[in-house]
Structure 1
Amino acid sequence: MNLNDLNLFIRVVETGSFTAAADSLDVQKSTISRRIAQLEDTLGIRLIQRTTRKLKLTPEGEELFSRAQPLVDDLAAVQDDISASKTELRGRLRLTMPTEIGVFMMNEVISSFMQAYPRIEVDVELSTRTVDLIEEGVDLTLRLGPLPNSSLIARHVGGLRRGLFATPEYIEQHGTPNSPADLAQHACITLQRPFDHLRFINWNNQEPVTMGGRLRTNSLSFVREMILQHMGIGRLPDVFCNELVESGRVVRVLDDFKLEALEINALYASRRNLNPRVGAFLDHMTDRLNDHPWVQNKLVHLTP
């Protein structure tokens, strides 16, 4: 079996079409089609059912893809290990992170990383779900908030400054809370699975604060949109609301009471034999975020 033909087959499956694979590899579509046909002739089986509209794998093609893709990735890792120059790092890097972090902060980090390492391919899943890195073959995940006990290796990235926000219209109708205790009487937009309790560094010995309200969500972006709909007071990283505050569409609430920053941690499977692509990304991300205006690196932690 020709390894180059196998690589082409995997790329066709990953991109979903011969055309997309050809574009990504900068080769002729006819070349890929011919090489896949050669692979099928070598194996004596049909791997792909071709139609005018879509591509569909045969059962044999699905089995070959599922078994060959990890092997090809392992070979790419071997190439990385013996490469002396960072520009020679190659292969696929699989990342997951919350949608908002990817869109608002990591976009620049990832784009500059891909420019620095032009031979590394990056797959990014934006999701709030907890990913099993080992089971799903993910190299690194970013998570917000305190971490549960885990066998994974964690590297602290920083913390997002955050505060409480509401629209002037909401404040005009419902009044301004004067202390954290007043939040129990307000419509607060909270998270279904909160990253931590609402506590203030400089109030009531950092005891948890009761928040009133009927609306809960699992999305920080949706909290922001509901604030703009005058639905209540929401806790968000400052970056989500800085421009809104400057324009007057949103105001800060209880700004004299300071919240702990929201922790950002990078998790990966093992420190031993760390994949060079993961190591390169960790170093690049840390360097880029070290002076990032949204990131607070020296956290003031609440007492347990």
Structure 2
Amino acid sequence: MQHKKIERLMLFAEVAKQLSFTKAADALDISRGYLSTQIKQLEKELGYSLMIRSTRSIRLTPQGERVAAGMESISQTLVDLERRAEYENQCLEGTIRITAPMQFTQGVLLDLCRRFSDKHPGIQFDVECSYRSFNLVRDNFDFAFRATRNPPENMIAKKLFSYSHAVTGSPDYFSQKNVPTHPKQLLEHDCMNNSDDATWSFADGDYPIRGWLKNNDNLILKTQALEARGIIYTPDYFVRKEVDSGKLVSVLSDHISTSNDFYLLYPPIVNRSQRLSKFIEFILQEFAPEPEGS
């Protein structure tokens, strides 16, 4: 088999280096008899002698010298590969590939990536905005951020937070319209929507809505809400900064009780690179619950 031939070539390289079966066997920590048998098998496979043996010395044949030179080059290439792999494993450089939902990317993730990159300038991010469940290994993603009640068992899943939806509008909008106290009053408002659904879901069911704008980009909808053009229905994390700053006001929160969990997912890898390990550590710190009383 091919891998046995490669092994025999590596054994021959050590004999050629030492010009002694005994010294080569000691260096390789194998028996002299096994080493001699493997070299004889290699010569049989190649169809020519690699060395001339005598009772006191070993001398390489011209073919043996060419094979030894080729193996020395291969050995140096392997050393270079090991050094490069070790460097890449330890350094904080390179690209981190992520798949995440659009709303989480726009509302949370991009800011996290920018801050991590500020701390580690050698890091770049490649972010795929999608609700599709990728095979992270096959599709070459390092991480996935996903809302799910059942994270995949073949992935490491770190719960980041729980969230629910929120209905929000600007203070200027609600200065012109009555603040709704029940979802049935949504028909009196300009409900800007991101899908073809004509209803919004609440704890006691779905309620009809109407409005002047439907757009599949939630960032556009949020911009319109900030400009007092209507109200929107989004995950609460997507509008948390605006609500905390008072730019948007959350309404009907007593009627929203459904909660979902959000996870960081990544493949189980034995020797994870520093850039991936540091990013995991960074994300978990960002979403760690605040100590009680803080």
2:62 aligns to what? none
Equivalent-residue separation in structure 1 for 2:154 and 2:229 (angstroms): 39
2:201 aligns to what? 198
The amino acid of 2:239's aligned partner reads F
Equivalent-residue separation in structure 1 for 2:87 and 2:160 (angstroms): 25
Kindly provide the CA deviation profile for residues 239-296 of structure 1, in whole angstroms up to 9, marking residues without a partner as x. 636546755x54332244445456432233x32547434344222210122147xxxx
Alignment of 1:145-184 (within 5 A): 145-146=147-148, 153=155, 154-160=157-163, 163-168=166-171, 170-171=173-174, 174-184=177-187
2:99 aligns to what? 96
Give the TM-score normalised by structure 2.
Answer: 0.52
Kindly provide the CA deviation profile for residues 109-129 of structure 1, in whole angstroms up to 9, marking residues without a partner as x. 43454466566x332325245
- The RMSD of aligned alpha carbons is 4.1
Equivalent-residue separation in structure 1 for 2:120 and 2:244 (angstroms): 37
75 and 229 in structure 1: CA distance in 2 versus 1, 3 angstrom threshold? farther
1:284 aligns to what? 282
Kindly provide the CA deviation profile for residues 157-214 of structure 1, in whole angstroms up to 9, marking residues without a partner as x. 21356532123554455533221233355432233289xx733xxxxxx333314124
Aligned residues of 2:186 and 2:210 also touching (Cα < 8 A):
no
Equivalent-residue separation in structure 1 for 2:174 and 2:151 (angstroms): 40
222 and 147 in structure 1: CA distance in 2 versus 1, 3 angstrom threshold? farther
The amino acid of 1:140's aligned partner reads F
Among 127, 130, 144, the alignment partner of 1:125 is 127
Q: Indicate whether 1:271 and 2:289 are aligned.
A: no
2:86 aligns to what? 79
235 and 207 in structure 1: CA distance in 2 versus 1, 3 angstrom threshold? same
116 and 137 in structure 1: CA distance in 2 versus 1, 3 angstrom threshold? same
Q: What secondary structure sits across from 1:177 in the alignment?
A: coil
1:31 aligns to what? none
Equivalent-residue separation in structure 1 for 2:262 and 2:196 (angstroms): 16
1:53 aligns to what? none
1:253 aligns to what? 251
The amino acid of 1:220's aligned partner reads N
126 and 225 in structure 1: CA distance in 2 versus 1, 3 angstrom threshold? farther
Q: What secondary structure sits across from 1:216 in the alignment?
A: coil
Aligned residues of 1:152 and 1:267 also touching (Cα < 8 A):
no
Q: What secondary structure sits across from 1:176 in the alignment?
A: coil
2:239 aligns to what? 240
User: C-alpha displacement at 1:102, in angstroms?
Assistant: 4.0
Among 212, 234, 241, the alignment partner of 2:209 is 212
Equivalent-residue separation in structure 2 for 1:175 and 1:157 (angstroms): 36
Q: What secondary structure sits across from 2:207 in the alignment?
A: coil
Aligned residues of 1:164 and 1:253 also touching (Cα < 8 A):
yes
Q: What secondary structure sits across from 2:193 in the alignment?
A: strand
Unaligned stretches of 5+ residues in structure 1: 1-73, 200-205, 293-304
1:21 aligns to what? none
175 and 157 in structure 1: CA distance in 2 versus 1, 3 angstrom threshold? same
Aligned residues of 1:170 and 1:231 also touching (Cα < 8 A):
yes
Unaligned stretches of 5+ residues in structure 2: 1-80
Equivalent-residue separation in structure 1 for 2:83 and 2:194 (angstroms): 41
163 and 274 in structure 1: CA distance in 2 versus 1, 3 angstrom threshold? farther
The amino acid of 1:130's aligned partner reads R
Equivalent-residue separation in structure 2 for 1:159 and 1:174 (angstroms): 31
Equivalent-residue separation in structure 1 for 2:286 and 2:84 (angstroms): 25
Equivalent-residue separation in structure 1 for 2:83 and 2:124 (angstroms): 14
253 and 117 in structure 1: CA distance in 2 versus 1, 3 angstrom threshold? closer
The amino acid of 2:98's aligned partner reads L
135 and 161 in structure 1: CA distance in 2 versus 1, 3 angstrom threshold? same
Equivalent-residue separation in structure 1 for 2:84 and 2:133 (angstroms): 22
